[in-house]
Every structure is written in C-alpha cells, then in structure tokens.
Amino acid sequence: MARARNRPALVAHGGAGSAGPGAERAERRGAMMAAMRLGARILRANGSALEAVVATVAALEDHPLFNAGYGSLLNSEGNVEMDASVMFAEPVADPAALRPASRGKRSGHAGHPNAFDYSVSAGAVAAVSRVRNPIVLARAVMERSPHILMAGAGAENFARKAGIRLVRPEEMVTERARERWRARKQESGMFEAEGAVRAAMGHGTVGAVAVDEHGGIAAATSTGGVPGKLFGRVGDSALIGAGTFAHAFGAASATGQGEAIILTALCREAVLALADGSPRPVAREAILEMIDATGAEAGIILIDGRGRIGYAHNTASMQVARYDPAGGLRHLWLEPIATGRRR
C-alpha cells in the first residue's frame, strides 16, 4: 500500500521554568526563530525530520542564553556536564528490511492512520564536557555505534573516533554561567542535592520534534542540566522515553524537573497516548498526570504523524516556536495550564 505524503511540521522549545530577565526575551525569541528557520528550510527542501530536529537543536546549543551546549549552566563543582538524546521513527516499505532488534523495531497500531511498519532508532549521551554540540554526538551514537547511550569520557572518546571535534572543558563555560554559579554559591553556601533539584527551574533546556513529508518522525533534546547539580548527575534529557521519544504515532521532547520526568516516563506516555488522542489534549493530560504523581513542574512539546502540534506546561514560563506549511513560522510564550482539580 502506497503511503500518502505527510504534512511536514516542526516545533521547538527553549525550556520551561522561571520567567527569566525581561531584557533577554527579545534575544531568546530571535534565537528560537533563527533555529526554526534552519529546521524549516530542511523540511521545505524535502529533508528528513531527523535532520530538521538535529539542526534546530544544534543551533540552540550554540546560543549562550539557553541551558544547552555552549550556554550550559554549571554543576556543583563549577563545571559543565551536558546530556542529549535523539530518536527517529522511519517508515519502512519492506518489513523484511527492518533493522536488527538492537537498533530498531516494528511499531504500529491496528486501525491507526500511521499503522505502517517503522524502524525506530535512538542515540544519547550523558555527562559530557568537551563536545560543542552534544546532540550531534547523540546522533553519531545512534548511527555509528551498536549502542544507544554513552557517557562521560567514553562518549568523548567515541566522539574523537567519529570525527567530532573536542574542545577544552573551559571553552564551554560562558561568563554568564560562571556568574550565576558564583551567585548561587554565595547565596546557599554548600550545594546539596535537595537544593539543586529546587533550583532546577531555570530557563534553557532545548528540544525539537518534527514530521517530514515521507512520514519520518523525530525528537531531539539537549541540556546542561540542573543548575548546581551534583557531579555526575544525569537527567531526563539523556533518557529515551523520559525526555525524548519518537514512535509511529508521533514524537515528544520534555523540559523541567528531570527527576519527575524520569519517574513518569513523560514523553513515552504522551506519545503512546496519541494512538487514541490528538496532541493538544494529550500534552495537557500528560502534564496533569505528572503533577498528580510528583507535584513537579515541567513542559512538553508533541507532534503526531499528521503534523498536528501540541504543547503544555505548568511552570512560570515556556517558550516555543513552530512551523507548518499553512501557518508558517511562529513564536509563542505559552501560558501555563490550569492545575486545579480535574473533572
């Protein structure tokens, strides 16, 4: 059976958390739109959803106002440790040609509009300090290794072998991040895990999800992690199913309090709910269920195989940008969802 062409679409987030300095809002908006133009250009040229999300996230990693890549905030030791992941669900015309189980699997849902055979692949890195664009390394892990998740020095050694340039750790530390680290140190004295988690809600984790004309569906997420986190802490952005997930039904990227996102497998639960729902209500319900389970704060962006987009958050502020052929490029500062008692 021939697959009809899909409506390409892309949505990205720049983190959910505190409102942040008003003076930075215009620059954040400009950076989001510049990143979205890169991703949208790929989709308009009939490129893949995977290419689009990686290009969008890499552009945001390069901007110092986002807590990812070059803008990453510092851990309790005053160093950068970054997490990132990518996942790609690709339609396969010949089911016999699906990749081995270690790299992908069949996915579908009887009666669902996207009940085709899909190959699903993923790659992730955790606690890396010497890679300018962790999302590029996550993709290399997916495409050029037999593994899904690599961490620390081993991931950086793999980057070298894959031809990804390494930098000195201090090159990833911006003066802005250093000043914020010093300010937190002065205010709180010694960092503790509980205090680090409470401090998690600064702006910055970045992510993108997309669907392309051929039905490819991708998600990517990157972060510097919790400000002041303990050395070696890994958050949801490195974990497939928590901060990133893609499937025949759609894709999701999350931002917020990573421990809560991990505990609720937020992105996987939201994407699988697309089998029986549309992105806007599914995104809202996913956040409400996370609140019920953990009382935490987070945000999620979601796309389905038809190119329909949804997002929701319960934090002070969340920034998103979106693209589709009908609506073009748009930027939004989202209002938080009402978190009162559900009917």
Catalytic residues: 205
Residues in the chain: 343
Distance, CA of 229 to chain centre: 19
CA distance 141 to 164: 11
CA distance 245 to 221: 10
Residue with tokens 């699903």: 120
CA distance 224 to 304: 27
Beta-bridged to residue 89, according to DSSP, are 120, 217
Specify the pairing of strand 9-17 against strand 298-304. Answer: unpaired
Beta-bridged to residue 246, according to DSSP, are 251
Q: Say which amino acid occupies 245.
A: F
Q: Which helix (H) or strand (E) holds 37?
A: helix 25-44
SS3 213: coil
Burial class (CB in 10 A: 0-12, 13-18, 19+), 190: exposed
